Chains A and B, each alone.
Chain A
Amino acid sequence: MNAYLGVDVGSVSTNFVLIDEHDQVLADLYIRTQGQPIQAIQTGLRMLEKEIHPSLTIMGVGATGSARQLTGVILGADVVKNEITAHAVAAMHCIPDVQTVVEIGGQDSKMIIIRDGIVVDFAMNTVCSAGTGSFLDHQADRLGIPIEEFGALALESKQPVRIAGRCSVFAESDMIHKQQMGHSTPDIIAGLCEALVRNYLNNVGQGKPIVPPIAFQGGVAANLGIRHAFEKELGVPVIVPEHFAVMGALGIALLAKENNAQGKKTSFRGFSASELEFSTRSFECNGCPNHCEIVEIKQDKAVLARWGDRCHKWQDITNTEAAS
């Protein structure tokens, strides 16, 4: 059987989706990146290989997420695309008439406006990561509540307290004040969820027309409290797609399939890429006062790729000037 692989390597999670020729999801995987993208990719490949049928042939591979360039090199991806496009493609696949996509991940949040099946506008948080997964993780941890239960607790609240949502520093100190005043944990968490939704709509939404159907995706969509706060604030239901946590990977798998559908040969290195020895190193180029930090990816002794230089001179991998 033929299949297409999509991999989304973000700051917090590394996600894999495998689809068949009819766009059906055969397998999906959500693991933590933990600051080690190469390891996360290799672990994922190993786990996926165990799960799938041996007769399966990978016909195309796509990479997305903030580590898409690195992922593309490690896997031998056929398509390397930004996560905004990947999320839009997946949302339109799951909800064909979707008009608004709300995506909140580990470090960033996006809003994508879709009309008649094309993206007409998008925004991504620029200066603030309040309300994204990492912040919620941190707050759950501080309150000693597992993140999986954090959102559900918000639903028990009768009287959400008001929390400043504009900045995560303000939010945290406000939460501590309210907690010390004696408010209940569910009320504080519900207040936090509302604050974060307000912040998202102001900071990312910035007055964009939020029209249903609304897809809510990304890791934070698992949080019942945030989901509820969105519905309360917007006054309409939000749809959380079945594969909400791995939508970027699903989108890029669909794009890889589209790209290779006409029998283009994939450049996938195979599942054995999980056993290859990849190493990275970085060095400072002293060619000019920019002192660019160059990253170099090697497989055994061979240089696979370099980036980080403003002038592009290191991107030529035959350049041997590199101080070893």
Chain B
Amino acid sequence: MKITFPHMGTSWIAIKTLVEGMGHEVVLPPPPTKRTLDLGTKYSPEFACLPFKVLLGTYLEALELGADTIISSGGVGPCRAGYYTQLQGRILREQLGYDVRVITFEPPRGHLIETYRIIRDLVKVSFPKFLACAWLAWQKLLALDALERESHRVRPLELEKGATSRILSQGIAAIEKADSVREIKNITATFLEKFKQIPKDSEYQPLKVGVIGEIYVVLEPFVNLDVVETLGHMGVYVDRSIFLTNWVTENTFLDTFRVEAERNAKKAARPYLPELVGGHGQTSIGETVLYAKRGFDGVVQLAPFTCIPEIVAKSIMPRVSKELDIPVLTLMLDEQTGKAGIATRLEAFVDLLRMRRNRLAIARGETA
């Protein structure tokens, strides 16, 4: 089988390792570009959300490169994304005539046997060999998240604009090529050290902003118009609420075995939104509560235009924002590729946060 899968930030590096470890050829689609968006928009229902369109465009680009099987994930709760793979499969097969198989991984909870069957059918090598590859892929994921996290901390402090992003992309490229756990650990250590060596303004106290919202638009810089990097260049420390490693842990192990301990965000959301509204709606509220409690200066909510779970969260947000005294900026993302509108809003939001922090410092008797 020639397998392809969607792009979501840097996750392709780990997924590629995993799929190759199962004994298949991987057809890596190009990262999403305007062409992806053009293709996706052309063949998608008009009312579908941005993730649907970008994913369909990505599949089309992968099929052009010879892929015959698509692996993707299903959705949780009442969110349209739950049936997206079925619909995309039908568009590709019935409307466009591709002979393509679409395999959907649902969250294992409630689908344990089905998940086991899919994996059993997919794995063409000995099981111990597959486990070793899965472990390698997991280590890559951990390493990628570690470097990205550190880049968020370093970027607002850098003296030469762009230095952090440059080292981060070198680190990502190195992890991609690594083929042993030891090598990955060495690379991680080397690049964490390189981040340390970047000349920094150590006096500067960056504003702290949490980025929350729907997973795809949070993780894929092409669709969020590089929000995380843009904020970093404005001198803001960004904490992204979603990293793939935590998300995988929560949705595969914790949910399957009903471990409640780590589900802080859902618990924190309860006073405002006790229901699962699909997608990431409930966690968006919960994460905002947690950021407020951790003393963050503000929160940026990212949502695909027309995303129901995030719209529900958005309409509850004013109360959360008021009661916990944390400013929230919601950005609805759609097909626009011009960054000016987003930059204007982010800049004004950062101005607001800065004035607010100075005011709070004066109120506490400190000099701003």
Binding site for B on A (CB under 8 A): 66, 81-85, 116, 118-122, 124, 126-127, 207-208, 288-291, 310, 312
Q: A81-B351, A118-B359, A208-B318 given. 8 additional CB < 8 A pairs?
A: A82-B345, A82-B347, A84-B347, A84-B351, A118-B355, A120-B356, A121-B352, A126-B341
Residue on A with the closest CB to B226?
A: A310
B28-36, B80-88, B107-115, B206-214 - interface stretch: B28-36
Q: How far is the CA of A312 from the CA of B233 in the complex (A)?
A: 12
Residues of B close to A121: CB separation below 8 A: 327, 352
Residues of B close to A81: CB separation below 8 A: 347, 351
List, sorted by A's number, 21 A–B pairs whose CB atoms are closer than 8 Å: A81-B351, A82-B345, A82-B351, A83-B344, A84-B348, A85-B348, A116-B359, A118-B355, A119-B348, A119-B355, A121-B327, A122-B348, A122-B349, A124-B345, A126-B332, A127-B332, A127-B334, A289-B34, A290-B34, A291-B34, A312-B162
Q: A13 → chain B, closest Cβ, in Å?
A: 17
Q: How far is the CA of A121 from the CA of B327 in the complex (A)?
A: 7
B340 CB-CB contact with A under 8 Å:
yes
Q: A116 → chain B, closest Cβ, in Å?
A: 8
- Is there an interface contact between A289 and B344, defined as CB atoms closer than 8 Å? no
Q: How far is the CA of A127 from the CA of B334 in the complex (A)?
A: 10
Q: B39 → chain A, closest Cβ, in Å?
A: 11
Residues of A close to B105: CB separation below 8 A: none
Contact with A along B333-368 (1 / 0, CB 8 A): 010000011011101110110011001000000000
Residues of B close to A116: CB separation below 8 A: 359
Residues of B close to A119: CB separation below 8 A: 348, 351-352, 355
Residues of B close to A122: CB separation below 8 A: 348-349, 352
- Is there an interface contact between A85 and B318, defined as CB atoms closer than 8 Å? no
Interface contact tally, CB-CB below 8 A: 58
Q: How far is the CA of A288 from the CA of B327 in the complex (A)?
A: 37
Q: A154 → chain B, closest Cβ, in Å?
A: 31
B138 CB-CB contact with A under 8 Å:
no
Residue on B with the closest CB to A112?
A: B348
Residue on B with the closest CB to A119?
A: B352
Residues of B close to A120: CB separation below 8 A: 327, 352, 356
Residue on A with the closest CB to B325?
A: A120
Q: B29 → chain A, closest Cβ, in Å?
A: 11
- Is there an interface contact between B33 and A124, defined as CB atoms closer than 8 Å? no
Q: How far is the CA of A208 from the CA of B344 in the complex (A)?
A: 20
Residue on B with the closest CB to A113?
A: B352
The residue from B30, B334, B343, B349 contacting A289, defined by CB atoms under 8 A apart? B30
Q: How far is the CA of A208 from the CA of B318 in the complex (A)?
A: 9
- Is there an interface contact between B33 and A291, defined as CB atoms closer than 8 Å? yes
Residues of B close to A289: CB separation below 8 A: 30, 33-36
Q: How far is the CA of A152 from the CA of B355 in the complex (A)?
A: 39
B296 CB-CB contact with A under 8 Å:
no
Q: How far is the CA of A240 from the CA of B183 in the complex (A)?
A: 66
Residues of B close to A66: CB separation below 8 A: 340, 344
Q: A21 → chain B, closest Cβ, in Å?
A: 24
Residue on B with the closest CB to A310?
A: B226
Q: Tell whether A124 pairs with B344 under 8 Å between CB atoms, given A85-B351, A118-B359.
A: yes
B305 CB-CB contact with A under 8 Å:
yes
Residues of A close to B359: CB separation below 8 A: 116, 118
Residues of A close to B36: CB separation below 8 A: 289
- Is there an interface contact between A207 and B344, defined as CB atoms closer than 8 Å? no
- Is there an interface contact between A127 and B33, defined as CB atoms closer than 8 Å? no
Q: How far is the CA of A85 from the CA of B334 in the complex (A)?
A: 25
Q: How far is the CA of A120 from the CA of B359 in the complex (A)?
A: 11
Q: How far is the CA of A84 from the CA of B305 in the complex (A)?
A: 23
Q: B297 → chain A, closest Cβ, in Å?
A: 13
Q: How far is the CA of A85 from the CA of B355 in the complex (A)?
A: 11
Q: Tell whether A82 pairs with B226 under 8 Å between CB atoms, given A119-B355, A290-B33, A291-B34.
A: no
Contact with A along B14-35 (1 / 0, CB 8 A): 0000000000000000100111
- Is there an interface contact between B356 and A288, defined as CB atoms closer than 8 Å? no
Q: A206 → chain B, closest Cβ, in Å?
A: 8
Q: How far is the CA of A142 from the CA of B30 in the complex (A)?
A: 48
- Is there an interface contact between A288 and B348, defined as CB atoms closer than 8 Å? no
Q: Tell whether A288 pairs with B351 under 8 Å between CB atoms, given A84-B344, A120-B356, A124-B344.
A: no
Q: Tell whether A118 pairs with B344 under 8 Å between CB atoms, given A127-B332, A289-B33, A289-B34.
A: no
- In the complex, chain B residues 26-66 whose Cβ is within 8 Å of any chain A Cβ: 30, 33-36
Residues of B close to A82: CB separation below 8 A: 343-345, 347-348, 351
Shortest 10 CB-CB distances between A and B: which pairs?
A84-B348, A289-B33, A82-B347, A290-B33, A85-B351, A118-B355, A82-B344, A119-B352, A82-B348, A289-B35
Residues of A close to B340: CB separation below 8 A: 66
Q: A296 → chain B, closest Cβ, in Å?
A: 17
Residues of A close to B347: CB separation below 8 A: 81-82, 84-85
Q: How far is the CA of A66 from the CA of B338 in the complex (A)?
A: 12
Interface centre among A120, A127, A208 (most CB of B within 10 A): A120
Q: A212 → chain B, closest Cβ, in Å?
A: 20
Q: How far is the CA of A127 from the CA of B347 in the complex (A)?
A: 19
Q: How far is the CA of A291 from the CA of B38 in the complex (A)?
A: 12
Q: How far is the CA of A121 from the CA of B328 in the complex (A)?
A: 8
Residues of A close to B226: CB separation below 8 A: 310
